[in-house]
Chains A and B, each alone.
Chain A
């Protein structure tokens, strides 16, 4: 019984402590697949609309996505999920084919020819 109490107190302290160490302005970056400025606005929009994301920026040349977010409100995984849901592959997560196929032809990054299309 005492053991359990100690454990509870200890874990409570740990949780509280880890809550304090949560960064309100955490920087993170990862690769997101896409082509053009239309992709850029779609990716950034999906990310910024995730609660807790303060700043989102995707570079179409380097395919690098950068963000600043509040760790108390969301996780990197949440943001990745939101971007995947919008139709863009993130790391090993693949976007649903139905969503992907609805992207404008110039944004269908899985097709090597899409890069040469007229981007709007």
Chain B
């Protein structure tokens, strides 16, 4: 007998006694596979509106009707099921959950270099991803993939990398670390190599005089670095690096979160370069033998409810460099005329503290106090020339932020105090000086919330070296149309030039050092004063459905007074006050575009026109290419499981011809051409990210092997009058190939 007719028979028999009920229990399988009852499941006859729901234990009962044969079980989040009713008790019925769709996160790719359309200042923000592109290693090298600043090499002896902005050397830039003046005075030349790249969270590069908060010293621009914060950083980070020139690096950070408000981090950086390298066979090391140990302890305290934020940093650094002739042994040959050699030994201690308070009831009102102490001791000699500097610095700044009426009108005001003690030994001359100053500032920010916004700042300073003076700064932004900004800035800068510390490379030559003026207060010279004005136009938009971003800058810097560094007479270097015109005009055109999915292009053309009046007359600044072209290509594969990814990076830097200082009175073999020929430097890197905690990279710097054939004049006669390593216009080191790894624990 077939089941259904039997059932109907049974049904008919029972019908006489009572209404027939269909019963059952609805269940699901939990993740572990155990059965679990489902309440509130809707049960209805197919194609009918009559139905019921399951009770809290998953049971249901439904009055039988002969019109229907099937029931439908439906429940949100589960696959509906249709069941043929062939018995009164349907027993256990399992529902299957809808297969959960994996969450799709749509993420807008944010470039690692960002320029805001809304900031009145022409500021580029560079985040930590950019630091990974130049795998190593410190702040100076991190700019190699960035077109906003130019990286150059200061001399053929130390190989120290210098950065330039608007065609002006780094002393005209104001460096701050977390908004406190940092690389200045004695650390001006080598200081950029004292901040390891892996400690950096982000960099803000501002073209133009910048804000008044941090003093009057900035003339070409300001560069601020933010370091990683113990509360938000990974628990542990390790990075090692090695290259074919026996340079090894170790970067490690360990953070301890003590409670939700307090955390501390211990950061360590060590590097060593032990290989003696002389690929150009001039008998001089192409790059110094070096060792550095850099230790930092950071404390961070944040209490958001009460509005307190505080930082404490302690940093100690020791750095040793040795260079010169390959056979030079400092223990045997120091200060003898047998071999030429040089050693630079630096010890530096930094302590800084910051405390900030945001009024919990008035979010727009806050005050901050920051203070820093540093001691920088450098003992060095270059051949028979000695240069020692001991610089003790103390800085303090009190700041108050609030509004006038509404947040459309914001202001910042405060006081600052600085004290700098310099003790220098230049050959046998002892030069000591103390600079101190107090200043007060007021900065007003207006935002129309429509097209116009501006920042107007004024500071008044009283300084024993610079006198009493005011520093006005203005930044205006006007939005022309959708996603386009026009910016204008104007500002004055004033600073004291530390002629020896800033031009240390001069010691690695046998040029005679002279200071011509004698009436001024800084080495007999006057303070440097310049006006900086600039315009910028930025437009963002879509081209073929891909984001592009173009930017055009024009800046003009006009020196009222400058300490002219004159290399124009061979065998001589002299410092004197500007007598005439000194200007820098720079034009920059930037394009950022995603060519195809995940392939980003960054292209820049820069034109510089820098002229200084020397005693010989108005001349183009030497070692300054008039034209530069920068191209960076970055390709990233789609991120896979656990962040698995390949990242490819390629940078090309083309430098046009550069005027070289006059060498025409040297013997013919020691003469250089009037201009250096244009050249290109290529860098590339491949990174393999295995998962969120482990990645490896390999790369090459200067893979085209572009080098300056003869970086040192008269290398065979280092104690003779023509010896000069200061005319460096191209890399002194050929291709560098490196490998490294990064390991992190969240």
Contacts and interface: CB of A to CB of B under 8 A. Distances in A.
- A and B held together in a complex: yes
Interface of A: 25, 27, 41, 44-45, 48-49, 53-57, 68
Given A48-B407, A48-B408, A68 B362 contact: yes
Given A48-B406, A55-B407, 9 more contacts: A41-B449, A44-B449, A48-B408, A54-B364, A54-B405, A55-B363, A55-B364, A55-B406, A68-B361
B408 A68 contact: no
Interface of B: 361-364, 403, 405-408, 449
A56 B407 contact: yes
A28 to B, nearest CB: 12
B407 A54 contact: yes
A25 B361 contact: yes
A70 to B, nearest CB: 9
B362 A25 contact: yes
Contacts of B363: 55, 57, 68
A60 to B, nearest CB: 15
B407 to A, nearest CB: 5
A17 B362 CA distance: 25
Contacts of A56: 407
B366 to A, nearest CB: 13
10 contacts: A44-B449, A48-B407, A53-B406, A54-B405, A54-B406, A54-B407, A55-B363, A55-B407, A68-B362, A68-B363
A80 B449 CA distance: 19
B449 A48 contact: yes
Contacts of A54: 364, 403, 405-407
Contacts of B408: 48
A48 B449 CA distance: 9
A57 B407 CA distance: 10
Nearest to B359: A25
A7 to B, nearest CB: 37
A55 B408 CA distance: 9
Nearest to B447: A48
Nearest to B405: A54
Given A55-B363, A68-B363, A45 B449 contact: yes
A32 to B, nearest CB: 17
Contacts of A49: 449
A41 B453 CA distance: 15
Nearest to A73: B405
Contacts of B449: 41, 44-45, 48-49
Nearest to A54: B406
Nearest to A49: B449
A49 B405 CA distance: 11
A48 B410 CA distance: 13
Given A41-B449, A48-B449, A27 B361 contact: yes
A66 B182 CA distance: 38
A53 B405 CA distance: 8
A64 to B, nearest CB: 14
Contacts of A53: 406
Nearest to A42: B449
Contacts of B403: 54-55
Contacts of A41: 449
A109 B449 CA distance: 22
A31 B599 CA distance: 42
Contacts of B406: 48, 53-55
Contacts of A68: 361-364
A11 B301 CA distance: 51
Contacts of B364: 54-55, 68
Of all A-B residue pairs in the complex, the 9 with the closest CB atoms, nearest first, are A45-B449, A54-B406, A55-B364, A55-B407, A48-B406, A53-B406, A25-B362, A48-B408, A48-B407
A54 B362 CA distance: 9
A102 to B, nearest CB: 16
B699 to A, nearest CB: 36
Contacts of B407: 48, 54-56
Contacts of A27: 361
A25 B407 CA distance: 13
A83 B28 CA distance: 48
A49 B361 CA distance: 21
A82 to B, nearest CB: 13
